[in-house]
Amino acid sequence: MFILSSVINGSIYDAYQYIISGSSFSFWSLVLLSGFTGIGVTVTTYLFLSMSTPTSFAVIGVLKKISQTFLGYIFWKSVSGWQNIASVIVGLCGGIMYGFSQKAKQTNEAK
């Protein structure tokens, strides 16, 4: 979809011209850094899944999104009502409770 809209509005041609015109070193550095970061995230995800359960992975993903939302409220000073803040707090509390329950489960299995 992104490529189709880029072709329609002509920005794909501008990007192509920028790349072949001898773009700067910083552009290619960012492209390489982005690629290596993607590979690192993929490898880390597979390693984490091999050591944990899919439920834990899903809960961690939700906690990551909740923390990103909270930081978005802080950094961009967005208008947030009490409902938004309450939902972030409920999500964080749920993630913390899940973490404690998993720790208790591991403790009981070790005994």
pLDDT at 101: 87
What is the rounded CA–CA span in Å between residue 110 and residue 83? 41
- 47 and 2 belong to one structural domain: yes
R_g of the chain computed on alpha carbons:
21
- 1 and 15 belong to one structural domain: yes
Q: Please give the share of the chain, as a percent, with pLDDT higher than 70.
A: 95
- 17 and 57 belong to one structural domain: no
pLDDT at 39: 94
Integer CA distances (angstroms), 49 to 45, 55, 106, in order? 6, 10, 17
Q: Vertex 66, ends 61 and 68: CA angle to 5°?
A: 95
Model confidence pLDDT, tens digit, residues 37-72: 999 988 988 888 888 888 888 888 888 888 888 788
pTM: 0.50
Under the banding of pLDDT at 50, 70 and 90, the label for residue 36 is very high
85 pLDDT higher than 90:
no
- 66 and 90 belong to one structural domain: yes
> Domain residues for 95?
53-111
77: helix, strand or coil: coil
Which of 33, 51, 69 is where one domain is finished?
Answer: 51
Q: Total structural domains in the chain?
A: 2
CB 91 within 8 A of CB 66: yes
